[in-house]
Amino acid sequence: MDLQQFFPYRLAVLAEAVSRAIADVYGERFDLTRDEWRVLAALAGGPMKTGDVIAHTTLDKMQVSRAVTRLEAHGLIEREQVASDRRARVLRLTPAGRALFRRIAPLARAREAFLLDALDADERRVLDRAIDKLRERARLLAQTG
């Protein structure tokens, strides 16, 4: 097997390259890690339980826990206990967190646009469909073991 031609490897290399290109925006300028940015971006859509943040970001429990601890220490998010479940916490952005997200999001979107400008409209539609189909196949494989 030629690793350089192995689809999962090529996809991982692409994902890492794209992630690094976007990370320059929030890492250097705003001192956020990739995990912190993902949690911040997830919560920009509204408050979530910690478990939902884990599912939404594809980060594991420990990664989310570390990111939440640091974001909370910097006053960017807050945790609130769920009345019906004393173990569960709802996370939400503070006004400072929302302001930071509003500063970073356009910069991240500009990098995304630059990357996607390499594709014409038809290629983008094909890419979107291909990603959806491959994600579904991966889900099926995971279910069957």
> Span 3-108: which CATH code?
1.10.10.10
Mean pLDDT of 89-101: 96
Q: Which residues pair with 81 in a beta bridge?
A: 89
pLDDT at 84: 78
User: Could you state, in order of their start, the residue ranges of all structural domains in the chain?
Assistant: 3-108, 115-145
Provide, rounded to the nearest whole percent, the portion of the chain with pLDDT above 70.
100
CA 94, CA 100: separation in Å to the nearest integer? 10
pLDDT at 88: 79
CA distances from 104 to 39, 50, 111, 121 (A): 13, 22, 11, 26
CA 35, CA 42: separation in Å to the nearest integer? 11
- pLDDT band at 32; cut points 50, 70, 90: very high
Mean pLDDT of 121-137: 97
Tens-place pLDDT, residues 40-88: 999 999 999 999 999 999 899 999 999 999 999 999 999 998 777 777 7
Crossing angle of helices 34-43 and 50-57, rounded to 10°: 120
- Find, among 58, 113, 68, 56, the residue nearest to 94 by Cα: 68
Q: What is the CA radius of gyration of the chain?
A: 18
